[in-house]
């Protein structure tokens, strides 16, 4: 009886300290955005990079849990040799668009971790190996995503 009780207590303690599994979140580049936001982003791209929004796919995601989506743009035509694409992470502030990061990667996903209350971004650098990725974290001092130092 005592052995059973001790065993059950150990199992209860062990399961009490476990962490739930957290999956990474894929981006949905199929959602539509409003015409006014499309215009703002297009204007930002023309002024900053001399390109247009038609060169990018766009995914909206709330990175800081404030109820307002930030936007991740993925280049439609990626580098043929490296298969890596330019990704831009943008935010809206009143009537302007802010660049939060520019990342070259095969693919981006949202990680299950946060830095300073902002979701981390995983940049996959290899189309075959899902375990080969860099983690970009929010830097409050630089006000942008930076590569996390390992």
- Round to whole Å and give the CA distance between 124 and 142: 23
CA 128 to CA 114: how far, in whole Å? 26
Tokens of 124: 């996959």
- What pLDDT, on a 0 to 100 scale, did the predictor assign at position 31? 86
pTM score of the predicted model = 0.82
Burial of 75 (0-12, 13-18, 19+ CB in 10 A): middle
CA distance 60 to 31: 8
pLDDT digits 0-9 by tens, 14-69: 565 554 555 676 899 988 999 999 999 999 999 999 999 999 999 999 999 999 99
For residue 81, what pLDDT is reported? 80
pLDDT in tens, 86-121: 999 999 998 899 999 999 999 999 999 999 999 999
Give the residue from 81, 63, 84 showing the smallest Cα distance to 72: 63
pLDDT in tens, 133-145: 999 999 999 999 9
pLDDT at 80: 74
In 3D, which of 66, 144, 136 has the Cα closest to residue 108? 136
Mean per-residue pLDDT for 3-14?
61
């Amino acid at each position: 009886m005592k052995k059973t009780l001790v065993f059950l207590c150990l199992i209860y303690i062990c399961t009490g300290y476990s962490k739930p599994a957290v999956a990474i979140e894929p981006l949905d580049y199929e959602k539509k955005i409003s015409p006014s936001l499309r215009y703002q982003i297009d204007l930002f791209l023309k002024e900053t990079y001399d390109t247009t929004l038609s060169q990018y796919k766009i995914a909206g995601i709330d990175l800081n849990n404030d109820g307002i989506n930030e936007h991740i743009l993925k280049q439609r035509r990626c580098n043929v040799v490296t298969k890596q694409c330019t990704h831009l992470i943008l935010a809206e502030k009143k009537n302007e668009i802010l660049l939060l990061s520019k990342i070259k990667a095969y693919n981006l996903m949202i990680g299950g971790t946060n830095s300073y209350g902002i979701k981390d971004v995983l940049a996959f650098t290899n189309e075959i190996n899902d375990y080969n990725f860099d983690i970009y974290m929010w830097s409050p001092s630089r006000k942008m995503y930076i590569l996390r130092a390992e």
